[in-house]
Amino acid sequence: MTWMIALFQSRTRKSTAAKSGSDRGANRGQLATARDAGKPPDIHPAALHPHLDEAVRIDTRVSDLIANMAAGELSRLLDQDGDGGVDEAAERVEQAEIARAQAESDAAEGNRRLQVARQQFAEYAESKATEAAGLGAMIRDLLNACEGVGAEALTKKVCEIKETMDAAEAEARAMATDASKDAAKKAKLTNASDVDAAPMETSANGALATAADADEDEDDVAMRDDTAGALDAAAADLDPSMNFVERAKYIPLRLDMEERKLLRLLEAALHVSEYTDKVDVLTFRSKTQRITKQLKEICAIMCGLVVATDYRAGQQLIKDKEFVDNARFFQRIFEIGRRHKVMNPEKMRSEYGKMIYLLQDSQMADVQELLNFKLVEPMRTAYELLAEKNGLAMLKDGLMHQATAEIMHEGKPRIQVQREIKAKEKAREHLSRRYAHSDLSSEEILSVLYSVSDNNAYLRFNRDPVDRMIGYLKQYFDPKNPEPGFSLGITMGMGGARLSHNHERQYTYVMQSMMLWREVSNDMFKLWYLAENDLLREGAHYQLTNTGQGLNRVQSAPQTNKAIHQVLGRCQSKLGHWVGSSVVHLGDHNVPNALMFIDKYTQVPRILNPTTLVVARVEELCEDDGLRQYVESTFGGIDECRKTILADFFRHAFDGSGADNFFDAGSCIDGRLTSAWNWCSKIEKKSYYPVFSLAGFTGFDGGDFRS
């Protein structure tokens, strides 16, 4: 309101300028003459009277304006004298504020891109140093082979090549070390100035750590020679032991019937809500008021749905009560929704994003001050229930594996499957009787066992497709000797590829990428738990930014970032050699927040499941004589058809495509998945797409694919 009064005062002064112009001119003349003569000005008091009268008139009009403001006098006067000038001024102020926020976001994004570029350059220098070391070792072997042969000219030439390679290797090592130190130094300075805005961390086993210490050429060469064996051994060793105590900390409890009723109310309220449409917009007006209004609206809808479902329960909920009186009800219903989504990633596709964002806003201090209650409570897990009821000893029982194991029916006779089901049921009954006591009922024990079983079912449908694809890679492709026509080598610029790898390097790159996906899928419940902690922590701030894909909430995720780097470090330490960049995008324009990170990696089974199902069904399709003739005439046979599909997938789902720069795509951790998405978008143009259609494929969205 102050700026409106100032604007009115300015216009009033302009309207009186003509009347007092001559007096002001005379006064200015006297001031100038006095200044030139070096004495104080001689202004007669009567000359000040018009200015005093003008000031009194302005003060009187402003006082009247403030007094009549509630009645709309200000709006009427300004509309009569200004033709919408106030609205134009407000719009200009709002546009300037939006431009300032966008400029700050662009500057922060530029800083993040510079950090990533430094790390990628350090990794590139290290890879070139390793290649130079390998070539140097090959030349030394050749030189040793030439000794005693007597070809002096050949030996001399090889020695010259060796000296050149040694110099190139030393130069590459020095460049890698300098680049690593510079990247680490700049990252440390950035983190010191703004810890919360750091977009990525460097893994302890990543390139920045190894670049400064890599100085043993023979070890590098031996490591390259044993790549295939290391990959197979790592794939076998990455499975963690059946530690149910650790797993149970992140496994949500299965919903009971009463909770499922509340879940339907929550889904109905979120479905009709337009929360993000009303809140996530760039405007200079107060966001807190809009957030509070939308939150209360959703709470009111849920209360109304409770009344419509059960009038008596609804009456007890809302009669003579404020929202704060029902805080426990709202906390519980939102916690149920979060728990259901983690257990069922394919559910609540649009509602979950609204729910997380409104809960994120409800954690803001100024919003809580207006609401007077919190909407967030910790997620109920199997470990938490057993800890409350003094039943953690059950998680260490040897029957836990049998009582929660997923029954796999493939390739087994029916009698064996039934025998395994009965053994599983008996193990559950035995555990429920052994560990039940006055505080922990048998029903609660069974709830924990069912929850762990749900986690195993999740792993079957989300992690096992990665295992099958790794199996296909090892079954149909040799890491050293490519089969004619089925080489995995890619060249930049050909077929949309943005990377250049020979067959062996691409084989290693694909294997590492899928092993990383497998580990992420295996730890998804833990990553999801930490992601919600990052999103819903109190005092956390986000920035609404145009990331090139619309307005998104850019927010750091320290717990999730640490966990994914631990997964990456575990893979790197097992493999011993990493191809490509180890940059993880999180909290920047590519992956704005932890919610986007989780959504990104829940797409892995949606890509791999249909692909593995089609590959597996080729033989079944060929039971029809007509389809067999088509497959043989087009591809050359069943195995050739499978290898055609798999070779194209292993080439172009991991070729760095999907963007026009190495920051948004390429060989970084997230860029590998971006390339896979790009391959999915072009599936209709592939020569083998009719095989996909015949196998029942309709899309990578999961719900419509007939398994």
563: its two tokens: 């966990």
- pLDDT higher for 434 or 549? 434
Q: How confident is the model at residue 636 (pLDDT cuts 50, 70, 90)?
A: very high
pLDDT confidence of residue 237: 42
Contacts of 410 (CB under 8 A, 6+ apart): none
**613 and 528 together in one domain:** yes
Per-residue confidence (pLDDT) for residue 546, from 0 to 100: 86
Q: How far is CA 296 from CA 337, 538, 624, in A?
A: 18, 20, 61
Tell me whether residue 623 is in a domain: yes
What number is the average pLDDT over the span 615-631? Answer: 93
Q: Is residue 71 pLDDT above 50, yes or no?
A: no
Question: How distant is the alpha carbon of residue 163 from its chain centre?
Answer: 47
Which residues does 365 contact at the CB level (< 8 Å), separation at least 6? 538, 539
- In the block, tokens 């009038």 appear at 311
Number of domains in the chain: 4
Residues 578, 511 share a domain = yes
> At residue 588, does pLDDT exceed 90?
no
- Position 12 scores a pLDDT of 46
The pLDDT of residue 30? 44
Instruction: Give the least confident one: 240-244, 435-439, 497-501.
Output: 240-244
365 lies in the same domain as 440: no
Residue 564 shares a structural domain with residue 597: yes
Q: What is the pLDDT of residue 187?
A: 60
Q: Does residue 660 share a domain with residue 527?
A: yes
Q: Stretch 646-660: mean pLDDT, rounded?
A: 89
User: Above pLDDT 90, what percent of the chain?
Assistant: 40
Whether the pLDDT of residue 456 is over 60: the answer is yes
Confidence label for 180 from pLDDT (cuts 50, 70 and 90): low
Return d(Cα 604, Cα 571) in angstroms, integer: 18
Position 120 scores a pLDDT of: 59
On whether residue 243 sits in a domain, the answer given is no
Residues 530, 630: one domain? yes
- Co-location of 374 and 385 in the same domain: no
**Does some domain include residue 432?**
yes
How many CA atoms lie less than 13 Å away from 453 in the CB half-sphere?
A: 20
At residue 173, the pLDDT reads 67
| Per-residue confidence (pLDDT) for residue 165, from 0 to 100 | 66
Q: What angle is formed at CA 162 by the lines to CA 158 and CA 163, rounded to 5 degrees?
A: 120
Domain boundary among 392, 425, 456: 456
Contact assessment for residue 326 and residue 317, using Cβ atoms and an 8 Å cutoff: yes
What's the mean per-residue pLDDT of the chain? Answer: 76
Has residue 198 been placed in a domain? no
Does residue 231 belong to any structural domain of this protein? no
What average pLDDT score do residues 343-362 get? 91
Domain extent for 537: 463-694
pLDDT band at residue 525 using 50, 70 and 90 as cut-offs: very high
Rounded CA gap, 17 and 559, in Å? 64
**CB-facing half-sphere around the CA of 329: CA atoms within 13 A:** 19
Average pLDDT for 657-671: 72
Kindly state whether residue 554 falls inside one of the protein's structural domains: yes
Predicted pLDDT at 116:
62
Single out the residue in 358, 379, 400 at which a domain terminates: 379
Predicted confidence at residue 378, as pLDDT, reads 93
Q: Residue 679: which of 446, 442, 431, 497 has the closest Cα?
A: 497
Same domain, 580 and 672: yes
Domain-embedded: residue 195: no
Residues in the chain: 707
Q: Are residues 8 and 41 in the same domain?
A: yes
CB-CB contact of 591 with 585 (8 Å): yes
Alpha-carbon dihedral sign for residues 181, 187, 191, 193? positive
Q: Do residues 572 and 579 touch, judged by C-beta distance below 8 A?
A: no
The Cβ of residue 223 has, within 10 Å, a number of other Cβ atoms equal to 16
| Cβ pair 600, 670 in contact under 8 A | yes
What pLDDT sits at residue 118? 64
Is 295 a residue whose pLDDT tops 90?
Answer: no
Looking at the structure, tell me whether residues 510 and 642 fall in a common domain: yes
- The residue among 700, 679, 691 whose CA lies nearest residue 495 is 679
Predicted TM-score (pTM) of the model is 0.70
Q: Provide mean pLDDT across the span 501-520.
A: 93
The pLDDT of residue 196: 41
Could you tell me if residue 141 is inside a domain? no
Residue predicted with more confidence, 271 or 370: 271
Are residues 85 and 78 in contact, defined by beta-carbon separation less than 8 angstroms? Answer: yes
Q: Who wins on pLDDT, 70 or 319?
A: 319
118 against 24, higher pLDDT? 118
**pLDDT tops 80 at residue 351:** yes
Q: Which of 405, 440, 456 is the last residue of a domain?
A: 456
Residues 335 and 470 in one domain: no
> Is residue 255 pLDDT above 70, yes or no?
yes
**Mean pLDDT along residues 312-330:** 76
pLDDT confidence bin for 350, thresholds 50/70/90: confident
Domain co-membership, 306 together with 400: no
pLDDT digits (tens, 9 = 90+) for 153-179: 666 666 767 666 666 666 566 656 656
